[in-house]
Amino acid sequence: MLKMFKHPSGNIAIAMLLMVVATMSGFTLSSLAMRDAAAFQYDYEGFQTMLLLRSEASRGQKIAQRLGAVLIPIRTSERNVEITNSAMRKTFKIQSLLSQGGLLNLQEDVVAGDKKQMTQVKSLVKSKSGVGQSAMMNPRFSIIRKYGIYTLETETFAKFMYFTDTDESPAEQNVYFYGPDLVYGRVHSNTDIWIKQAGGGTNGGWPTFFGWVSTTGVVQSFSGAYDEDLVFQGGLAENYPYTVFPEEASTIRRRGNTVGPVYQDEDNIVYVEVDGGGYTAYLGVVQDPYRENAVLYNTYPPANPADSIGRNQYNVRDTIWTFNSNGSCNNTSKWVNSKLWIKGTFSSYQTWGCADTMFLLDDILLSGTAVGASPFSNHNDVVGLVSEKSIVIKYGYRHPVDSLRYHDALGPCEGPDPGDNGIWIYAAMAALGHGHGFTFADGVFTFEYQHPHPSVPDIMATVNGVPTLFTKIDLHRYRFPQTAAFPWAKKTAATPVETRIDFPWYNPLWPERLPYLERGYISIYGSISQRRRGFVHRSFYDTEWPPIPANSWNQPIDYCGGSSSPAVVAHQDPVLGFQLTNRNADGASGTGTGYQKNYHYDDRFYHTSPIDFPEVNREGESSFAGVNWVIKRPPENL
């Protein structure tokens, strides 16, 4: 080696070798640098593409919120985003396609959803080299592109366990949450929420809210200071944004299948029994009024039929029932253009809506859930009930087929069979009615016949040795219709007002000698949304809304005679000799009229909704919640 260094030709050889090594090293380093630069550009471009894809998904969500409903596929305008720096000059092209439908099962604990209330935002981001005119002239796109599918779900009022647009009674009086009220799930009011410490419950007489509570107003306490953490255990937000409550069931009207007449008529009633995925419907048509007479007597049944003191004349309207239809209600919504009487056991996704008042005749049950059990593990059956007026638990009815009298929605407060404890409702309910100033026409969830008084039933009696059927006995004893001079029930100007007798036909099963006061529990696994707070329990005599004048009758504004206390109304019939009074349903307890609450939120509604249920809107936008976002292999084009 030393000899080589001493020889001139050896030095040249070494120099040439070093030059080759240096050249190869330069090529290698240059290659590594170029590879690192290319990798950086690819990484940078991929990262930038992902950011733009995420922003495009949010843009699609905002567009869906503005539209409110995506009925046909909608392609957004293409956006061009130019990025220029020392590393690259790129133009990114971004576009989305919005379409109805989406995934049904997102994860194991999510119930199958309603496709019609899901929207997919499919977004594609791709890029070209260059900006401006250079990019326009370049037909080739980069191999790096990103494609994502963002699944949105319409937020419906099923998300609220308890929603009230106006937290007052129809008489515009405060309605309170108090001790026995244990409320699970989301609660919102567009007005102040009133609470009071009034005994009962497990929280020192105060109500307990286990879910998040929000109010556009504030919480008002009738009973002074309270511990917010104990009452609102799921959190409280006051002065929360106003939530628009619709007055029309537009989605069901648009998408639902009509049951009954295709035209809207307040004189029609559609009776529906649901059995799993099928239904049977009858149509009741309220006939035109006809004039009826009742001879008036001082004593009735009369000792002498000739001893009449006048004659009552009044209008009567009969209802004629006919079979209407039967069919499938499996995974669909149904619309009724009239009053709807409904009961049954439901399978699949079903929503029933109507243009008039909806009456619940009996339980609303799920095929896959035992009565009294939570429906959380039931992945197949979801029910919605929507009325453009009110949803009312019916006191009683005559069946369209056999004309017999039924009291199906009452029972004991305790008993071995939970199905007999009042009424069970496994459904999300919405009462949308808007009275536009007439508060008694606002939509409420409530119960029928809130001020029961006894009435004299039809009897067979022997008069002068002849068996005779006597009907509508009270109409033969008191002047009707009432007038200012003769309010019901007052026989003559000299006699005092009779506060113990029921107004004709106020009771849907009138006349009834022993009507019911306490009727057990309203047991709900679902949700309630209503325009105004409806009563589910009344005192015998509502001192916050006393009739004026006392003991007057005007049912549309809740004037329903005097007290319903049995101590007041109980009496012996002066002619027939039997007892007339009112009473609690067998096994039911309490001091008043109506139902005790047994309300539970259906936790499945956090993840899904009844089909075509009314959507939530805030500040001019529909609410769409993101439920899933996935990145997939990109197509060439949307």
For residues 253 and 386, membership in a common domain is answered with: yes
For residues 230 and 367, membership in a common domain is answered with: no
Provide the pLDDT confidence category of residue 381 given band limits of 50, 70 and 90.
very high
Residue 548: per-residue pLDDT? 74
For residues 265 and 130, membership in a common domain is answered with: no
Q: Which of 288, 284, 287 is CA-nearest to residue 268?
A: 284
Q: How many helices (H) and strands (E) are present in the chain, helices listed first?
A: 6, 43
For residues 20 and 62, membership in a common domain is answered with: yes
| pTM metric for this prediction | 0.80
Provide the pLDDT confidence category of residue 108 given band limits of 50, 70 and 90.
very low
Q: Residue 448: which residues within 8 A CB-CB, separation 6 or more?
A: 359, 392, 393, 394, 395, 508
Provide the pLDDT confidence category of residue 19 given band limits of 50, 70 and 90.
low
For residues 547 and 399, membership in a common domain is answered with: yes
**Residue 293 is which amino acid?**
N
For residues 192 and 277, membership in a common domain is answered with: no
Determine, yes or no, domain membership for 584: yes
Q: Residue 35: which residues within 8 A CB-CB, separation 6 or more?
A: none
d(C-alpha 169, C-alpha 167), whole Å: 7
Query: Which one of 198, 220, 243 terminates a domain?
Result: 243
Residue 246: per-residue pLDDT? 93
Residue 247: per-residue pLDDT? 94
Question: Could you give the percent of the chain with pLDDT greater than 70?
Answer: 86
d(C-alpha 359, C-alpha 366), whole Å: 18
Query: Which one of 184, 214, 243 terminates a domain?
Result: 243
Residue 264: per-residue pLDDT? 93
What is the arrangement of strands in the sheet containing 176-177, beginning at the earlier edge strand?
176-177, 193-195, 219-221
Query: Which one of 216, 243, 270 terminates a domain?
Result: 243
Phi, psi of 428 (to 5 degrees): -90, 130
CB-neighbour burial class of residue 408 (10 A; exposed 0-12, middle 13-18, buried 19+): middle
- DSSP-derived 3-state class of residue 600: strand
For residues 90 and 237, membership in a common domain is answered with: no
Determine, yes or no, domain membership for 502: yes
Q: Which of 469, 486, 464, 478 is CA-nearest to residue 574?
A: 478
For residues 172 and 267, membership in a common domain is answered with: no
Residue 20: per-residue pLDDT? 58
**Cα angle for residues 377, 382, 385 (degrees, 5° grid):** 145
Determine, yes or no, domain membership for 483: yes
Q: What is the pLDDT of residues 589-614, one digit of tens each?
A: 888 999 988 889 999 988 788 999 99
Helix (H) / strand (E) containing 3? helix 2-6
The answer on pLDDT for 139 being more than 70 is: yes
Determine, yes or no, domain membership for 638: no
Residue 111: per-residue pLDDT? 35
Determine, yes or no, domain membership for 78: yes
The answer on pLDDT for 106 being more than 60 is: no
Work out the average pLDDT over 304-309.
81
Q: Which residue has the higher pLDDT, 73 or 322?
A: 322
For residues 322 and 426, membership in a common domain is answered with: yes
The answer on pLDDT for 188 being more than 90 is: yes
Q: Where are the beta strands (DSSP E) in 539-623?
A: 553-554, 559-560, 571-572, 579-580, 593-601, 617-618, 621-622
Find which of 21-30, 192-201, 481-490, 543-552 is predicted with most confidence, using mean pLDDT.
Answer: 192-201
What does the block give as tokens for 168? 């007052």
Provide the pLDDT confidence category of residue 303 given band limits of 50, 70 and 90.
confident
Q: Which residue has the higher pLDDT, 226 or 8?
A: 226
The dihedral of CA 366, 369, 371, 373: what is its sign?
A: negative
Q: What is the pLDDT of residues 399-440, one digit of tens each?
A: 999 999 999 999 887 765 666 789 999 999 999 999 999 999
The answer on pLDDT for 257 being more than 80 is: yes
Q: With beta carbons less than 8 A apart as the criterion, state whether 468 and 460 touch.
A: yes
d(C-alpha 484, C-alpha 115), whole Å: 58
Determine, yes or no, domain membership for 637: no
Question: Could you give the percent of the chain with pLDDT greater than 90?
Answer: 50
Question: Residue for token digits 């009969």?
Answer: 318
Indicate the average pLDDT of the chain. Answer: 85
For residues 305 and 393, membership in a common domain is answered with: yes
Residue 496: per-residue pLDDT? 62
Determine, yes or no, domain membership for 262: yes
Determine, yes or no, domain membership for 272: yes
Provide the pLDDT confidence category of residue 196 given band limits of 50, 70 and 90.
very high
Q: Residue 560: which residues within 8 A CB-CB, separation 6 or more?
A: 450, 451, 503, 506, 547, 553
Q: How many domains does the chain have?
A: 3
Provide the pLDDT confidence category of residue 72 given band limits of 50, 70 and 90.
confident
DSSP per-residue letters across 220-235: EETTS---HHHHBTT-
For residues 458 and 509, membership in a common domain is answered with: yes
Structural domain span for residue 37: 2-155+621-632
What does the block give as tokens for 319? 């209802």
For residues 287 and 360, membership in a common domain is answered with: yes
Question: Residue for token digits 């499945």?
Answer: 604
What does the block give as tokens for 37? 């630069």
Q: With beta carbons less than 8 A apart as the criterion, state whether 98 and 70 touch.
A: yes
